Amino acid sequence: MEDREQYVRYQHDRIVLAAIGVHLDPQISRISVRLPRSVAESAVAAWDREELGGIGEESREEYELRDDAAELALIGLAITSRGVWEGEEAVVELDVVQIAAALQAAR
């Protein structure tokens, strides 16, 4: 039987990470950002798009792609509902989770 002891440590690490999140959550909510019009309009289009097909069995890569597309659509929702167009930019307050998703996708 293989040694799985590290997963016990990882579980503890997750508990500590969640405890940090509990303390950070009330301190950080939204951050005002500026986005170029082209990507802001693409995010709004992702929000407006209707996906007609159902979700069947998918690979991990397909799941991650769909998850990223959902994050983009949520940014589009934020732009639609509370964003302001200033020339060639959209100014919008995004949740830190949305910002983190965009930063992660950029890596």
**pLDDT tens digits for 37-92?**
999 999 999 999 998 777 788 999 999 999 999 999 999 999 999 999 999 999 99
Cross-strand bridge partners of residue 32: 93
Alpha helices by DSSP H, the chain: 5-24, 37-48, 60-82, 96-106
| Torsion (CA) 56, 60, 65, 66 in degrees, nearest 10 | 30
Identity of the amino acid at 76: G
What's the confidence (pLDDT) of residue 1? 46
Signed CA dihedral, 39, 41, 43, 45: sign only: negative
In this prediction, residue 4 carries a pLDDT of 84
In the sheet with 89-95, reading across from the earlier edge strand, the strands are 30-36, 89-95, 84-86
